[in-house]
Structure 1
């Protein structure tokens, strides 16, 4: 199995990913605003920082800076955008919906990366086509879920 992951940094990246995927799944479906939500949410954010940071040091796919490094910066961006509405004091209640939007898209990005990673390991399949199909599928399905949940969020957050 060591050939599945090629370095110590790769194993670290994988371990942080497993933690983030478990925390992200909990966050997606748990009641928002509870102590557990906040605790698990910070575990998710910390593990995503580790994932995105470690991704910037992995070059065995192409040997140079590439698309996945850019996506790691996008991952950092969704985390920052998702956390700002909570960290800025005195923010309007309706801005908390942005927290939910960006954090849900952060989790979708994580799952899309996982699906892409799995799909490119199918032998004799075109790499970028498989990444596109995996990523697109996750984001289309996830976006339907987010749009459906936004009505619930708005009622909950704007009380």
Structure 2
């Protein structure tokens, strides 16, 4: 079995790995710094290019559910980056940025899990194969959603406390 069915698949994988690493760095390091912004731009560019190349991969489907999820992923990262770039006059821009970027990163991990399952030799088990793909992605999404909500509450409190002073 080839890991990269095509050149576009290899390029897609390189951008995905760059997004996984740069996104992880941004999440776990101090926010609002010059480094946060620069690494964040690497994340955004990697995500945009990864999602565009995803639309040209045709391993399982000509155009299928993974392609539709790539479009959704592209929209979440664009929403996340447009908030600080274009919507700073709105009071909620930071929450919008946080939500878009957080969900794009969780979606990236959900897609990563789905890709691992697709690449493993589970195809002979029919319905269970799709349950593993969907189940693994949903598990990552639920765990990520829990942490997004938990940290969003902290973000709202910190914004409220800052604006009161």
- Length-normalised TM-score, structure 1: 0.91
Matched, 1:24 2:23: yes
Give the 5 Å matches for 1:90-101: 90-101=88-99
**Long gaps (5+) in structure 2:** none
With over 3 angstroms needed to count, the CA separation of the structure-2 counterparts of 1:121 and 1:89, relative to structure 1, is closer
For 1:128 and 1:36, the matched residues in 2 are separated by: 40
Whether contact under 8 Å (2:3, 2:119) holds in the other structure is: no
| RMSD (Å), alpha carbons | 1.6
CA offset digits 1:19-41 (Å, max 9, x no partner): 00001111121121111110010
With over 3 angstroms needed to count, the CA separation of the structure-2 counterparts of 1:119 and 1:90, relative to structure 1, is closer
With over 3 angstroms needed to count, the CA separation of the structure-2 counterparts of 1:80 and 1:143, relative to structure 1, is same
**Deviation of 1:90 (Å):** 4.6
For 2:83 and 2:114, the matched residues in 1 are separated by: 30
For 2:153 and 2:119, the matched residues in 1 are separated by: 38
- Length-normalised TM-score, structure 2: 0.88
Q: How many residue pairs align between the two structures?
A: 157
Query: Which region of structure 1 is more displaced relative to structure 2, 100-109 or 149-158?
Result: 149-158
Give the 5 Å matches for 1:1-12: 3-12=2-11
The equivalent residue for 1:131 is 133
The equivalent residue for 2:57 is 58
**Long gaps (5+) in structure 1:** none
The equivalent residue for 1:116 is 114
The equivalent residue for 1:88 is 86
Whether contact under 8 Å (2:111, 2:137) holds in the other structure is: yes
With over 3 angstroms needed to count, the CA separation of the structure-2 counterparts of 1:12 and 1:130, relative to structure 1, is same
With over 3 angstroms needed to count, the CA separation of the structure-2 counterparts of 1:112 and 1:148, relative to structure 1, is same
With over 3 angstroms needed to count, the CA separation of the structure-2 counterparts of 1:76 and 1:108, relative to structure 1, is same
SS of corresponding position for 2:58: coil
CA offset digits 1:13-63 (Å, max 9, x no partner): 11111100001111121121111110010000000011000001101212x
The equivalent residue for 1:39 is 38
**Runs (4+) of structure 1 moved beyond 4 Å?**
none
**Deviation of 1:128 (Å):** 1.9
